[in-house]
């Protein structure tokens, strides 16, 4: 068996299992059918069941004698009926009883062939018709297939991947994940039917592999494909071939894919964990503009173990106060002199073993497993306490912005929680600004608009964080309720070196002007960046040029000086 996809059945001879205890009958049927079909033989039900176990996905039909030793035809039919995955294989009963038609059909057969086999044409016609009917039927009931690409869907992929291990236990396997870079852009720029064509092109490329390697594939989450294949001596070659084949078939020059490979899977892992490892490797492909591939290796494994440890340590860390919040001042630069106008709360983890861990390491992790909600609530509380403390000590209310992760936005208790935090610290919603990253707006934007609308009615101000890093369409921007645009650091970094980036910032400032919202530039490290942004009309600056994020006491000292 080289592949277990339906495609094979279409391109190769269909496979028939003949089950009869009499050798002469097997020979006769063999002669009649061998030209058109590939034949397998069994001399009793038990032998047949063994063959069916490994071949059920490629068998087009079973021709079954009823009276046999060891396990007879009726018993085999019962066994097939009991097993979900065997149900789709049609069975034709071979019988010498002349009135056997009704009985055969009653026990689950689709047809019968009378013995002796003296009418070869009739036999061939019955076999052909039964196969055709069964195939049409599977097409109609193709719930196991993704209707767009014809590959398996996720659920069946995992079920059949486990079977593949069982029946090809001797083979090592590779797990592969293929993802289309910026697929939503293809839909947006070229339309949904072009998006669908691209998905089919990827599926076709995957299928060409399945003709050569034992394995199976599925599509899930719109533009992600999973493959589970017999191990290849050179998986890079497979990745390279997929990349060039997809480029060739798609016909779109700016389309690229990233591929993650987990070679020679460890069998002690679940199938989901094996695919996860390929997905982890896939996510390390950096460029989203050109195709690339990556392997799951020791380094990634170490990183995964480290991440697992961090997750295990989190509750203890929260209880022991290992998480501390620092505050980075933001300055309004509209006037002659920069004026401290607010600060951003940024979390740090002072880990007793690993030292200071950057949020860039643990935030994405916590966003995946939901821990982020707990952590964010902690930060919001700490931030509100700090604002109240400064107010008490220095008589100055310095508003602080907190990061609200995408996951928080789907929490029905969010609004109550935020209101409770501000009121219990004697503050107003104006004192706690909410930073929501641009990419959180994509997806269910209807729900986002609703949630943000409510928060704004309560008096909270919304900053759209990392603006320009996502792909918000202008259309979406104008309908999004926001109060401040926060320019992505990537632009600021290059603003003095690249005219293109400078121009982009100008455009964003024009958009902000059109929307009547102020713009914050973050990541400003140099004087020339600050001066250029000021001359372009940017309103607020945050960055190392003015100050790194500081512990609350230090920011308090700053406030004491401004007083
Ligand atoms: P962000 O929200 O875009 O925060 C700005 C990041 O830029 C911070 O990194 C800040 O320290 C850094 N930064 C500020 N000025 C400069 C500069 O001049 N140059 C450079 N190179 N970097 C500068 P940090 O603190 O490592 O945080 C990274 C990200 O982690 C944040 O990006 C935010 O997405 C996330 N994060 C931090 N704290 C929280 C939190 O409490 N909750 C959530 N959900 N996310 C958080
Ligand atoms: Ca932020
Ligand atoms: Ca940001």
Domain of residue 271 covers 154-296
DSSP state of 153: P
Are 271 and 334 part of one and the same domain?
A: no
Least confident window among 101-105, 119-123, 407-411, 452-456: 101-105
Tell me which residue has its CA closest to atom 32 in ligand 1.
Answer: 360
Mean pLDDT across 452-467: 95
**Residue 340 — very low, low, confident or very high, per pLDDT cuts 50/70/90?**
very high
Angle at 245 between CA 240 and CA 247, to 5 degrees: 100
Question: What are residue 164's phi and psi, to 5 degrees?
Answer: -60, -40
Q: Strand ranges (DSSP E) for 411-549?
A: 432-437, 462-467, 484-487, 519-522, 540-542
Q: Is residue 306 part of a domain?
A: no
Q: Is residue 305 part of a domain?
A: no
Task: Report whether residue 465 contacts ligand 1, using a CB cutoff of 6 Å.
Answer: yes
Contacts (Cβ under 8 Å, ≥6 apart) of 287: 256
Q: Is residue 307 part of a domain?
A: no
- Quick one: pLDDT at residue 115? 81
Are 174 and 273 part of one and the same domain?
A: yes
Q: Is residue 419 part of a domain?
A: yes
Mean pLDDT estimate for the chain: 90
CATH number at residue 532: 3.20.20.450
**Do residues 173 and 278 touch, judged by C-beta distance below 8 A?**
no
- Quick one: pLDDT at residue 143? 67
Task: Report whether residue 549 contacts ligand 1, using a CB cutoff of 6 Å.
Answer: yes
Domain boundary residue among 144, 169, 192?
A: 144
- Best of 359, 464, 550 for a ligand 1 pocket test (most atoms within 8 Å of beta carbon): 359
Q: Is residue 56 part of a domain?
A: yes
Task: Report whether residue 543 contacts ligand 1, using a CB cutoff of 6 Å.
Answer: yes
**Residue 98 — very low, low, confident or very high, per pLDDT cuts 50/70/90?**
low
Q: Is residue 77 part of a domain?
A: yes
- Quick one: pLDDT at residue 135? 79
Are 474 and 495 part of one and the same domain?
A: yes
Are 487 and 457 part of one and the same domain?
A: yes
Task: Report whether residue 289 contacts ligand 1, using a CB cutoff of 6 Å.
Answer: no
Examine residue 116 and say whether the peptide bond preceding it is cis (omega within 30 degrees of 0): yes
Of 185, 183, 161, the C-alpha closest to 173 is 161
- Best of 344, 358, 368, 403 for a ligand 1 pocket test (most atoms within 8 Å of beta carbon): 403
Residue 342 pLDDT greater than 80, yes or no: yes
**Residue 81 — very low, low, confident or very high, per pLDDT cuts 50/70/90?**
confident
Q: How far is the CA of 490 from the centre of ligand 3 (A)?
A: 9
Helix (H, G, I), strand (E, B) or coil at 65: strand
Alpha helical stretches, state H, 68-142: 73-82, 101-106, 120-140
Residue 428 pLDDT greater than 50, yes or no: yes
CATH number at residue 174: 3.30.70.270
Which long-range contacts (C-beta less than 8 Å, at least 24 apart) are formed by 150-154?
150/6, 150/7, 150/203, 151/5, 151/203, 151/206, 151/207, 151/217, 151/218, 151/219, 151/225, 152/216, 152/217, 152/218, 153/218, 153/219, 153/220, 154/218, 154/220, 154/226
Domain boundary residue among 98, 116, 144?
A: 144
Contacts (Cβ under 8 Å, ≥6 apart) of 443: 406
**Residue 471 — very low, low, confident or very high, per pLDDT cuts 50/70/90?**
low
Are 136 and 254 part of one and the same domain?
A: no
Task: Report whether residue 521 contacts ligand 1, using a CB cutoff of 6 Å.
Answer: no
Q: Provide the token pair at 197.
A: 């064509």
Are 418 and 542 part of one and the same domain?
A: yes
Of 10, 8, 107, the C-alpha closest to 64 is 107
Of 181, 200, 160, the C-alpha closest to 290 is 181
Q: How far is the CA of 365 from the centre of ligand 1 (A)?
A: 15
Contacts (Cβ under 8 Å, ≥6 apart) of 354: none
**Measured distance between the N- and C-terminal CA atoms of the chain, rounded to whole angstroms:** 80
CA 384 – CA 401 distance, rounded (Å): 10
**Residue 147 — very low, low, confident or very high, per pLDDT cuts 50/70/90?**
confident
Are 217 and 283 part of one and the same domain?
A: yes
CATH number at residue 128: 3.40.50.2300
Q: How far is the CA of 403 from the centre of ligand 2 (A)?
A: 5
Mean pLDDT across 229-238: 95
Question: What are residue 216's phi and psi, to 5 degrees?
Answer: -150, 170
Task: Report whether residue 347 contacts ligand 1, using a CB cutoff of 6 Å.
Answer: yes
**Residue 6 — very low, low, confident or very high, per pLDDT cuts 50/70/90?**
very low
Task: Report whether residue 372 contacts ligand 1, using a CB cutoff of 6 Å.
Answer: yes
Query: For residue 291, how far is the Cα from the chain centroid?
Result: 17
- Quick one: pLDDT at residue 475? 63
Task: Report whether residue 367 contacts ligand 1, using a CB cutoff of 6 Å.
Answer: no
- Quick one: pLDDT at residue 368? 84
Are 350 and 323 part of one and the same domain?
A: yes
Residue 44 pLDDT greater than 70, yes or no: yes
- List pLDDT tens digits, range 178-204: 999 989 888 878 889 999 999 999 999
CA 269 – CA 252 distance, rounded (Å): 38
Are 398 and 328 part of one and the same domain?
A: yes
Are 209 and 82 part of one and the same domain?
A: no
**Residue 470 — very low, low, confident or very high, per pLDDT cuts 50/70/90?**
low
Q: Is residue 102 part of a domain?
A: yes
Tell me which residue has its CA closest to atom 43 in ligand 1.
Answer: 403
Residue 176 pLDDT greater than 50, yes or no: yes
Of 466, 467, 385, 394, the C-alpha closest to 431 is 385
Domain boundary residue among 119, 144, 169?
A: 144
**Do residues 52 and 62 touch, judged by C-beta distance below 8 A?**
yes
Q: Is residue 36 part of a domain?
A: yes
Residue 396 pLDDT greater than 80, yes or no: yes
Work out how many domains the chain is built from and give that number: 3
Are 119 and 178 part of one and the same domain?
A: no
- Quick one: pLDDT at residue 474? 63
**% of the chain exceeding 90 in pLDDT:** 65
**Residue 369 — very low, low, confident or very high, per pLDDT cuts 50/70/90?**
confident
Query: For residue 229, how far is the Cα from the chain centroid?
Result: 19
**Residue 11 — very low, low, confident or very high, per pLDDT cuts 50/70/90?**
very low
Are 52 and 116 part of one and the same domain?
A: yes
Mean pLDDT across 556-560: 90
């Amino acid at each position: 068996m080289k592949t277990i996809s339906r495609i094979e059945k279409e391109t190769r001879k269909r496979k028939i299992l003949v089950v009869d205890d009499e050798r002469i009958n097997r020979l006769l049927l063999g002669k009649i059918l061998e030209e058109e079909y590939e034949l397998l033989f069994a001399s009793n039900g038990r032998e047949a069941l063994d063959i069916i176990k490994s071949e059920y996905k490629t068998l087009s039909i079973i021709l079954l004698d009823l009276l046999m030793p060891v396990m007879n035809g009726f018993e085999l039919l019962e066994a097939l009926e009991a097993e979900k995955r065997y149900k789709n294989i049609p069975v034709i009963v071979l019988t010498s009883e002349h009135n056997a038609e009704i009985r055969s059909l009653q026990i689950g057969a689709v047809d019968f062939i009378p013995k002796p086999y003296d009418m070869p044409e009739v036999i061939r016609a019955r076999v052909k018709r039964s196969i055709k009917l069964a195939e049409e039927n599977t097409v109609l009931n193709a719930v196991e297939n993704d209707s767009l690409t014809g590959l398996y869907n996720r659920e069946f992929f995992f079920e059949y991947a486990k079977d593949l291990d069982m029946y090809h236990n001797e083979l090592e396997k590779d797990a592969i994940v293929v993802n289309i870079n910026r697929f939503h852009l293809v839909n947006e720029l070229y339309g949904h039917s072009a998006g669908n064509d691209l998905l089919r092109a990827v599926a076709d490329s995957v299928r060409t592999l399945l003709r050569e390697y034992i394995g199976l594939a599925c599509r899930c989450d719109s533009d992600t494909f999973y493959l589970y294949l017999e191990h290849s001596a050179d998986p890079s070659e497979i990745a390279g071939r997929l990349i060039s084949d997809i480029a060739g078939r798609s016909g779109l020059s700016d389309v690229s894919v990233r591929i993650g490979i987990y070679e020679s899977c460890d069998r002690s892992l679940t199938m989901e964990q094996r695919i996860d490892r390929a997905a982890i490797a896939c996510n390390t492909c950096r460029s989203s503009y050109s195709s690339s591939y990556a392997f799951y290796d020791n380094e990634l494994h170490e990183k995964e173990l480290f991440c697992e440890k961090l997750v295990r340590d989190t509750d203890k860390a929260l209880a022991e106060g290992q998480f501390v919040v620092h505050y980075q001042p933001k300055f309004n630069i509209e006037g002659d002199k920069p004026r401290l106008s607010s600060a951003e709360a940024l979390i740090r983890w002072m880990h007793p073993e690993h030292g200071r861990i950057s949020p860039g390491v643990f935030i994405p992790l916590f966003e995946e497993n939901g821990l982020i909600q707990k952590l964010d609530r902690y930060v919001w509380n700490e931030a509100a306490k700090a604002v109240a403390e400064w107010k008490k000590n220095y008589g100055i209310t310095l508003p602080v912005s907190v990061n609200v992760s995408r996951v928080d936005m789907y929490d029905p208790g969010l609004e109550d929680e935020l209101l409770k935090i501000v009121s219990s610290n004697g503050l107003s919603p104006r004192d706690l600004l909410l930073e929501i990253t641009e990419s959180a707006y994509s997806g269910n934007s209807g729900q986002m608009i609703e949630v943000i609308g409510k928060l704004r009615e309560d008096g909270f101000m919304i900053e759209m964080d990392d603006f320009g890093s996502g792909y918000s369409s202008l259309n979406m921007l104008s309908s999004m309720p926001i109060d401040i645009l926060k320019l992505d650091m990537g632009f600021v970094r290059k603003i003095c070196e690249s005219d293109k980036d400078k121009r982009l910032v100008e455009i964003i400032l024009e958009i902000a002007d059109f929307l009547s919202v102020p713009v914050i530039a973050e990541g400003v490290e140099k004087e020339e960046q600050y001066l250029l942004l000021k001359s372009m009309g940017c309103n607020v600056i945050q960055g190392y040029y003015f100050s790194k994020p500081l512990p609350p006491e230090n920011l308090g000292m700053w406030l004491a000086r401004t007083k």
